[in-house]
Each structure stands twice: as C-alpha cells, then as structure tokens.
Amino acid sequence: MENENIGQHSSSCSQESSEQKHCWVCFGTDEDEYETNRDWVSPCKCRGSTRWVHQSCVQRWVDEKLKENLSIKAHCPQCHTQYIIVYDEVNCLVRILNKLDKTANQLCPFLAAGVVVSTLYWSAASYGAITMMQVMGEREAITMMENTDSYMLLLVLPSIPLSLILCKTINWEETLLLFVQRYTSHIPLLRTIMPSFLCEPINSSANTVQFNSVVNPTTTLCAALLLPTTATVVGNLLFNNSSYSYLQKTILGGLVYITVKGVFRIYQRQHNVIKEKTRKVIDYPETDSEESN
C-alpha cells in the first residue's frame, strides 16, 4: 500500500513538473525566453496549467485588491481559495508601533462619534439658554436658571431646539386647507371668503390634487430655530407699548406670526391647487413649413 502511495505521489510530481505552466495574470508560459529568471507559485487549489502564476504577477494583483479595501483577504478569483501570505519578521519596536496604529484606527471612529455628539449636545444647550433669554428676558431667564437644578437644566436646555424642530414637522396648514376645501360649499362664510374652491376643474382627472408632501430638511431646521427670534421681534413691534410681560409679548408675537404665515401659505396652496385643476393639453402649433409638407 505504501509503495502504491509513493508511486502515485511520484507520478503526480513528475506530471506537475512536466506540465506547461501558464500565468493567469500575464498569460506567459515557462517556455518563453524571458521566463528563465522568474519565480512561479501555485497559491490555490486550482489544478492544471492555470494553477501557476508568477510571483511578481500575483504580488501585483494582491496590491490592486488591497488598494480597493485593506480589510479584505486576497483570494483566487477562480476557486476562491484564500492566499497564504507571509512576511519577514520585524523587530519588537515595529511590532509595538503596528499594534498601536491598529488600536488607534479601531478607537478613532468611536472618539469621533463622541466628539460629534458632544458638540451637538452643547450646541443645543447653548441655543436653549439663548432662546430662554430671548423669550423671557435676560434677567428673568438668568434668575430662573440659577434657581433651577443643574441636572434639570442639562435635560431641559437641549430639548428646546429639538421640540421646536418636532413642532415644525406638524403640517397643520395642509390639514386646515383640506378641511376648508371639503366644507367650503356647506359653510356660507367660507363660500364668501374663498369662492375659488367652488370652481369646476377643466380636466376631471385633476379633481383630487396631491399636495407636495416633500419636506425640505434645511428649510424646516432654519424655520424652527428662527421661530423664537421672529416671535420676539414681532412681539416687540406689535406690543411694545402694552403692559404685557416679556414672555407674554413673545408668545403673542409668535402666535401672530404663525397665524399670518399660515394664512398666506394656505392662500398660496389654494391657488396652486386651482392652477393644477386648470391643467390641460393643447394642440401642437404647426408651422407653415410643416403644413406644406
């Protein structure tokens, strides 16, 4: 039995040594004249002449793969066997430095995420403090923050911009417009104020007009964060000579601003809906040259 195994092994070795080698990268063979000084390697489970590849060619192929992604493992494109790659040993100092670099690369994403989250948190807290001083007045806001527990402030102040952004996402104007459209014909007052809702569409397919529900994130963010400043300015302009407190002026100014802005937005959307209802396709205007042809 052992003699048979030895015979099979010797025959396979002789067959491998006698078969022609083909490099699957550069398609060169061992019979080419310039191949005498080039090393051959069989790095995978492929069989036949294509199992061979030049050491320089496979090195170049591995380099191209590692350029795409350093974390991938190089493998044969045919049989998908992972290549066994070895390196010469380096000294202890280089090994330590390499280990430190690898650890730093693993920790840096978490540190960067922590820095970003901390920056956003303290930016939101600063915005919340400034908003309170705008809305309530500087003295009243500082006095209230001094008398409030510090842990409570750390929770309340960052929640102010978040609450403004969440409130801004509520599309009450569209809901009110749909209500007005539905009940205009039944309520005389609405029929007098907004008679344009009663017009019949030219094209029957446009009876139901879809509103543009796409929300612009930058517009929503800016409008939400600028709301306290706008409310303060409007309140001081309209109620400057009144006996209301600073907070009451700001609240009234915000209500006036939101109401007026909502009315104009509803008016704009109403006429855009009517414009869509008048949509029609017209005949193509033919020129004199086209008529002659």
Nearest-angstrom CA–CA distance, 65 and 82 = 13
**Burial class of residue 185 in the structure, from the number of CB atoms within 10 Å of its CB (0-12 exposed, 13-18 middle, 19+ buried):** exposed
Determine which of 103-107, 110-114, 153-157, 241-245 has the lowest per-residue pLDDT on average: 241-245
Residue with tokens 């820095």: 115
CB-CB contact of 42 with 76 (8 Å): no
Q: Is the dihedral of CA 166, 118, 136, 264 positive or negative?
A: negative
Greatest mean pLDDT range, 43-47, 157-161, 210-214, 280-284: 157-161
Q: Would you say how long the chain is, in residues?
A: 293
pLDDT, residue 123, reads 95
Rounded to whole angstroms, what are the CA distances from 215 to 173, 218, 269? 13, 9, 15
Determine which of 80-84, 110-114, 152-156, 190-194 has the lowest per-residue pLDDT on average: 190-194
Query: Which residues are 75's β-sheet partners?
Result: 82
pLDDT, residue 13, reads 47
SS3 content of the chain, % helix, strand, coil (to 5): 65, 5, 30
Percent of the chain with pLDDT over 70: 78
pLDDT one-digit tens code per residue, 49-59: 778 888 888 88
Q: Between these two residues, 279 and 120, which has the higher pLDDT value?
A: 120
Average pLDDT, the chain: 80
Average pLDDT for 139-146: 91
Confidence check: pLDDT of 6 > 60: no
pLDDT band at 242; cut points 50, 70, 90: confident
Phi, psi (rounded to 5 degrees) for 12:
-65, -40
pLDDT, residue 9, reads 45
pLDDT one-digit tens code per residue, 256-268: 999 999 888 888 8
pLDDT band at 36; cut points 50, 70, 90: low
pLDDT one-digit tens code per residue, 64-123: 887 777 667 788 888 888 888 887 788 899 889 989 998 999 999 999 999 999 999 999
| DSSP H helical ranges for 137-216 | 138-146, 150-168, 172-183, 188-193
Nearest-angstrom CA–CA distance, 197 and 213 = 21
Confidence check: pLDDT of 203 > 90: no
Nearest-angstrom CA–CA distance, 221 and 219 = 5
pLDDT, residue 117, reads 96
Confidence check: pLDDT of 12 > 60: no
